[in-house]
Amino acid sequence: MSSKSSVIPVTSPALPPFEEFVEEIRDIWDSHVLTHQGPKYHLLEEAIRDYLSVANAPLFANGHLALQVAFWSLGLTSGEVITTPYTFSSTTQAIVGCGLTPVFCDIDPRTLCIDASKIEELITPKTKAIVGVHVYGTPCDVKAIEDIAKRHGLKVIYDAAHAFGETFDGVGIGNFGDISMFSMHATKVFNTVEGGCLTFNDDELYSVATAIRQFGCYGTDETQYVGTNAKLTELHAAMGLCNLRHIDESIARRKAAYRVYQAAFDAIPGIQTVYYPESLKPNYAYYPVLFDEEVFGKSRDQIADELEQRGIYARKYFYPLTSTFAVYGPMFEIQATPIAQKVSEQVLCLPLFADLSPDDAATISKIVLGNV
């Protein structure tokens, strides 16, 4: 294999040239400003706002805290939110942690996002919002969700953790809904090591979100909101500034590996690959594959084991459904989501990251298909 080691992880963080990062942090040592929205923070916020083509993009210590601040900023602290169980645990944990009750809606079998056609039947007098997830960067049915939300007076929050830099119908994906959350964790297409951001068009939300981010009192001596500590440090911002300079190159390299996978798996019976609508400019964040054991002849678990025996680590992501977590059982009703359950038992994300060579993607494909 052409990787730097014989082991291929499911993902690997993008890092700038070491000397570039050292140069970026040099003036931090001169200024002794480490946090509290220093110069690096402001440069990165402006750069991300421009890159995502959004009106506002305050930055946070991580995506999970950013999502919680999104709920608080919209005054969502009680009631029900309709959401998907096919997501990472953070989405559901943020909902529950803010005092909200998740109502689980099944997913669309092709996009793997929340099925907009099934949302309305779950709305009750307690419903306050819809929380969708752009799964693997594939967008939710944003138009249908917007229509439902307007007719029922609901807020819309998108977990866009996977969707950094994408456009849909020519519009930055962070412009849909009331607020979108992007993760800037080390495993994402763009990272600040740890970090997150919120995007929204309502300028009045900016002062609320940034106050909540800093104990509810940013810029004043008086506490204005019940808040938290979710500030992004200058060192994290410096990493972001470096990585943002290279993100287009990074996405292009991901795309090269993606194309190898697509060429190998397209039209193979029993395999379903990631879905990108024509109007989406994707970022190639993940490469999920669904294996139908009865048709393909092998299960997701068998494939994962075969890859691991060769030092290739794929991930059952998302598995299990967040609605199956035992901790939630005594807390609220758990809705049946049979399509999401089936998908969670079939999905395997193959390695995909900027340093994964097309040759390695070809080798992985051959192993999956039993051609090695």
Q: Which residues in 31-73 belong to E strands, given as ranges?
A: 59-60
Measured CA to CA, the distance from residue 141 to residue 132 in angstroms comes to: 9
The predicted pLDDT at position 5 comes to 56
Cβ neighbours of residue 65 under 8 Å, at least 6 residues apart?
Answer: 196, 213, 228, 230
Spatial contact of 277 and 138, defined as CB atoms under 8 Å apart? yes
Residue ranges of alpha helices (H) inside 98-233 are 142-152, 204-213
Closest to 105 measured CA to CA, from 129, 128, 86? 86
pLDDT digits (tens, 9 = 90+) for 152-177: 999 999 999 999 999 999 999 999 99
Residue extent(s) of CATH 3.90.1150.10 domains in the chain: 248-369
The side-by-side arrangement of strands in the sheet containing 280-281 is: 171-172, 167-168, 280-281
The predicted pLDDT at position 222 comes to 87
Cis, bond preceding 318 (omega within 30 deg of 0): yes
Spatial contact of 343 and 109, defined as CB atoms under 8 Å apart? yes
- The pLDDT profile of the chain, 372 residues, written as one tens digit per residue, is 544 558 999 999 999 999 999 999 999 999 999 999 999 999 999 999 999 999 999 999 999 999 999 999 999 999 999 999 999 999 999 999 999 999 999 999 999 999 999 999 999 999 999 999 999 999 999 999 999 999 999 999 999 999 999 999 999 999 999 999 999 999 999 999 999 999 999 999 999 999 999 999 977 788 999 999 999 999 999 999 999 999 999 999 999 999 999 999 998 999 999 999 999 999 999 999 999 999 999 999 999 999 999 999 999 999 999 999 999 999 999 999 999 999 999 999 999 999 999 999 999 999 999 987
Assigned CATH for 18-242: 3.40.640.10
Tokens 């008086």 correspond to 222
56 pairs with which residues across the strands?
A: 200
pLDDT digits (tens, 9 = 90+) for 48-67: 999 999 999 999 999 999 99
Tokens 């204005």 correspond to 224
> Measured at the alpha carbon of residue 191, what is the angle toward residues 74 and 310, in degrees to the nearest 5?
125
Measured CA to CA, the distance from residue 132 to residue 62 in angstroms comes to: 19
The predicted pLDDT at position 6 comes to 83
Give the Cβ contact number of residue 290 at 10 Å. 20
Closest to 280 measured CA to CA, from 176, 179, 126, 152? 176
Assigned CATH for 248-369: 3.90.1150.10
Sign, CA torsion 46/52/53/56 = negative
Measured CA to CA, the distance from residue 242 to residue 279 in angstroms comes to: 29
Structure tokens at 13: 């963080």
Tokens 């038992």 correspond to 345
- The reply to whether the predicted model has a pTM over 0.95 is yes
**Distances from the Cα of 277 to the Cα of 24, 274, 282, 292, angstroms:** 38, 10, 9, 22
Cis, bond preceding 320 (omega within 30 deg of 0): yes
Spatial contact of 184 and 177, defined as CB atoms under 8 Å apart? no
Measured CA to CA, the distance from residue 80 to residue 100 in angstroms comes to: 6
Residue extent(s) of CATH 3.40.640.10 domains in the chain: 18-242
Measured CA to CA, the distance from residue 207 to residue 227 in angstroms comes to: 12
The predicted pLDDT at position 229 comes to 97
> Measured at the alpha carbon of residue 265, what is the angle toward residues 108 and 359, in degrees to the nearest 5?
130
